[in-house]
Amino acid sequence: MGNVLAVARRELNAYFVSTLAYLVVAGFLVITGLFFYLNLTFSRSANMRPLFSTIYTILLLLAPVISMRLLAEESRSGTIELLLTAPVRDAEIVLGKFLGSLGLLGAMLVLTLAYPLMLALWGSPDRGVIIGGYVGCLLFGGASVAIGLFASSLTQNQIVAAVLSFAMLLTLWVADGLSTVLGGVAGRVVGYLGLFNHFNDLTKGVIDTKDLVYFLSLIVAALFLTSRSLAARRWKA
């Protein structure tokens, strides 16, 4: 566990010594703040669900940017060789990088807690919706970062990694709509693979086991594939 935390700290430090983290966090807060204000102004209701839908869309775009450098930049600069020859297992490298990125994403979500606090001061927001929504945002963000990490392990180019990551996420996003076209058993299977339905269920304040299993399985599968990708690189070296 010590190696995992060391890698995670290294990733967090790498984010905050560059302007990337500050630009991402600032952009995230500006957009979410704007949509929160607009929703509150026009709906006049203490409802967080529209904001969670906004966060979902933003994370769909930001996750590839956050994760694109994790392994692609290491490969381009040659520092990946130092990691692979260090007394650290592939799974520890992958998990550490994932936790580092998840830490940045978690910090972004923590900063948005000001919005439900404001609603609680002047209204009566549904606590179940708030809790379920934040659980959904964290799980969806974790799954998106894990997929981005896998994409980053496949190339040395950060832009290519971001495009691959977005393409994977977009495929899972459109699965919801595709399920209605297919219908039957195939439609239900494809529908289960869709991201938004699972996220949307959580924002209703219903924390269902099937949604938790879905996101956790997606995270584990993406991290496993990333670990295998690193193992293949080590074997070639």
pLDDT of residue 213: 93
Q: Please report which confidence band the pLDDT of residue 193 belongs to, taking 50, 70 and 90 as the band edges.
A: confident
Is-contact 106 137, C-beta < 8 A? no
CA distance 180 to 175: 9
pLDDT of residue 235: 64
Structure-token pair, residue 30:
């500006």
Domain boundaries, the chain: 2-236
Rounded percentage of the chain residues whose pLDDT exceeds 90:
21
Q: What is the mean pLDDT of residues 127-152?
A: 92
Whether this model's pTM surpasses 0.85: yes
Residue type, 25: V
CA distance 194 to 81: 36
pLDDT of residue 43: 75
Question: Tens of pLDDT along 64-116?
Answer: 888 888 887 777 776 666 666 667 787 888 898 899 999 989 999 999 998 88
Q: Contacts by 193-196 with C-beta closer than 8 Å and gap 24+?
A: 195/140, 195/143, 195/169, 196/56
Model confidence at 207: pLDDT above 70: yes
Q: Please report which confidence band the pLDDT of residue 237 belongs to, taking 50, 70 and 90 as the band edges.
A: low
Element (H, E) at 65: helix 49-67
End-to-end CA distance of the chain: 26
